[in-house]
Amino acid sequence: MAVFTPVTPDDAAALARRLDLGTLTELRGIQSGIENTNYFLTTDRGEYVLTLFERLTFEQLPFYLHLMKHLAQRGIPVPEPKGDASGEILHALYGKPTAVVDKLRGQHQLAPDQRHCEQVGAMLARMHLAGRDYPRHQPNLRGLAWWTETVPVVLPYLEPAQAELIQDELAFQQALAASPAYAQLPRGPIHADLFRDNVMFEGDTLTGFFDFYFAGVDTWLFDIAVCLNDWCVDLATGRLDEQRAQAFCNAYDRVREITHDECRLLPALMRAGALRFWISRLWDYHLPRDAQMLKAHDPAHFERILRERRAQPWHYLRG
């Protein structure tokens, strides 16, 4: 998507004025993305992204927006939310929570090689360390509780073999989450959705991470697993590219050591990452919301990745 809620130029111009961003020169709906209404908002002073949140609430948003501000202030290249005269960074348009953030320079790298994976790995570790003193707390809202609630909702749409797989994996993840080894994993604010389309590069140099609206406090290892499942796979088969995975983890590890326990649980967390996006894609695909432009992601991709991770667990050997 997506423009779920059309914004008029007059309303966008008024908001830009209120945030002291200058005079609106262009407002353009963004087609990609599936969660929120996004526009590129250009003024005579700069380029911004205007987001109207379609699912997240006024209560949930401060966690994400202040996290972005916290990370930006610590030198992590993420879009900084724009405040009004009183410093408020959460706004409203048409009764919906709204934010205006800096537009990042660059493009997505949709065919990453080892060098791109290394930069994402290193920056992810820097981001995890920079988030250690973030004072707000909100769980990962797309975590185990949501999987447990959503699997029964999507189950009627699945073939018997798929239903068996999803239920078996959910039971495995529930047991894992209850284990002492899992409880010991280091945690903090994580991005939780750091796919190729949520990172910008200028040439081959990483310029930033964005789309923090699935962030939450969870294990750092889950963030690593989500990245490996996207940055280091062959998209056609879902198979892991071991060279890229090794490069990603080595770069991460040079900034923040991946502990022995994390290495041990990584294969299980890569299964968790695949399950999480299989469920959300099934949910978006079979229970879509209205949108002026909506492009649902293919659920079968993460079913393949989950089957791959179960059949061929990958172990990170520090090196």
Ligand X SMILES: N[C@@H](CCOP(=O)(O)O)C(=O)O
Where along the sequence are the contacts to ligand X (CB under 6 A)? Answer: 33-35, 193, 195, 197-198, 211, 277, 280-281, 297
Q: Is the dihedral of CA 94, 68, 210, 261 positive or negative?
A: negative
Phi, psi for 62 (deg, rounded to 5)? -55, -35
Which one, 11 or 197, has the nearer CB to ligand ADP? 197
103 contacts ligand ADP (rule: CB under 6 A): yes
104 contacts ligand ADP (rule: CB under 6 A): yes
Report d(CA 214, CA 109) in Å as an integer.
21
Minimum CB–partner distance for residue 142 and ligand ADP (Å): 13
CA-based Rg of the chain, rounded to a whole angstrom?
20
Residue 195 binds which of ligand ADP, ligand X, none (CB < 5-8 A, kind-dependent): ligand X
Minimum CB–partner distance for residue 183 and ligand ADP (Å): 31
Q: Which amino acid is at 306?
A: L
Measured at the CA of 29, the angle between CA 55 and CA 276, to 5 degrees, comes to 40
Strand-pair partners of 42: 26, 47
34 contacts ligand ADP (rule: CB under 6 A): yes
Total number of residues shown for the chain: 319
CB 289 within 8 A of CB 4: yes
Residue 128 binds which of ligand X, ligand ADP, none (CB < 5-8 A, kind-dependent): none
CB 36 within 8 A of CB 213: yes
Minimum CB–partner distance for residue 270 and ligand ADP (Å): 22
Question: Of 5-13, 96-104, 143-151, 273-281, which segment contacts ligand ADP by CB under 6 A?
Answer: 96-104
Residue 297 binds which of ligand ADP, ligand X, none (CB < 5-8 A, kind-dependent): ligand X
Minimum CB–partner distance for residue 93 and ligand ADP (Å): 16
65 contacts ligand ADP (rule: CB under 6 A): no
Residue 78 binds which of ligand ADP, ligand X, none (CB < 5-8 A, kind-dependent): none
Which one, 221 or 274, has the nearer CB to ligand X? 274
Phi, psi for 3 (deg, rounded to 5)? -125, 95
C-alpha 47 chain-centroid distance: 22
DSSP reduced 3-state for 48: strand
Report d(CA 190, CA 69) in Å as an integer.
14
Q: Is the dihedral of CA 159, 164, 165, 171 positive or negative?
A: positive
Minimum CB–partner distance for residue 145 and ligand X (Å): 19
Minimum CB–partner distance for residue 280 and ligand X (Å): 6
Minimum CB–partner distance for residue 34 and ligand ADP (Å): 5
Residue 226 binds which of ligand ADP, ligand X, none (CB < 5-8 A, kind-dependent): none
Report d(CA 301, CA 309) in Å as an integer.
12
Footprint on this chain of ligand ADP (rule: CB under 6 A): 1-2, 30, 32-36, 38, 49, 79, 101, 103-104, 197, 210-211, 213
